[in-house]
Amino acid sequence: MEKENLIDEIRQRFSAELESDTETFGDQVLVVRREGLRAVMAGLKGLPFDYAVLLDLTCVDFLESESRFEMVYHLYSLSRNRRLRLKVSLPGANPVVDSFAGLWKNADWLEREVFDMFGVAFAGHPDLRRILMYEGFEGHPLRKSYPWRKEQPRIPLRD
């Protein structure tokens, strides 16, 4: 009962920003417009929704699709014990999305990982640089366009 109310509330409040909402595996999935993502995230973190935990943040590369990248956010509300999945599409040419490191601290490193692996830029990120790969690495390895068996250049020894 409460679950339905919560979703209805979200639907009402963010009707302008939502493209669609569905349910998969018992969890609600919201597809959000890129422009409205910041407002939706900030609204969901505050009361009455109280999505205090950012469980995960990742990216999917749909190489053939026009809107090539899709960011996926998993939120969890401790007080209401509800999970929520948000998706937002990004263009392939210059994928930029707002950083949420200010809202959830753990977004800092998660966004750095997505930047490292997919080359998605995060506007407003405090320290956007590679996290797993090293300086001098060419390309973004989890992009579907990353060449199979690509040879990386040799790097010099660092202190």
Partner 1 sequence: MSGLDFLTTRLETALGWGRKYSLFHYPFITACCGMEYMSAACAHFDIDRFGAGLTRFSPRQADLLLVVGTISHKLAPVLKTVYEQMLEPKWVIAFGACTVSGGIYQNYAAVQGIDKIIPVDIYIPGCPPRPEMVLDGLLKLQEKIQKQPQDWRWKKKT
Tell me which residues touch partner 1 (CB under 8 A): 133-134, 137, 139, 141, 146, 149-152, 154-158
| CB closer to partner 1, 102 vs 141 | 141
Question: Least Å distance between CB 3 and partner 1?
Answer: 42
Question: Least Å distance between CB 151 and partner 1?
Answer: 8
Question: Least Å distance between CB 111 and partner 1?
Answer: 20
3-state SS assignment for residue 13:
helix
Is 143 within 8 Å of 119 (Cβ atoms)? yes
Question: Least Å distance between CB 85 and partner 1?
Answer: 28
Question: Least Å distance between CB 131 and partner 1?
Answer: 13
3-state SS assignment for residue 53:
strand
| CB closer to partner 1, 66 vs 158 | 158
| CB closer to partner 1, 56 vs 138 | 138
Query: How far apart (Å, rounded) are the C-alpha atoms in residues 148 and 67?
Result: 23
Measure the N-to-C terminal CA separation of the chain; round to a whole number of Å: 59
| CB closer to partner 1, 65 vs 152 | 152
- 38: nearest Cα among 140, 107, 109, 129: 107
Q: Which two tokens stand for residue 6?
A: 């919560």
| CB closer to partner 1, 76 vs 146 | 146
b/e string for 50-65 if b means 16 or more Cβ within 10 A? bbeebeebebebeeee
3-state SS assignment for residue 15:
coil
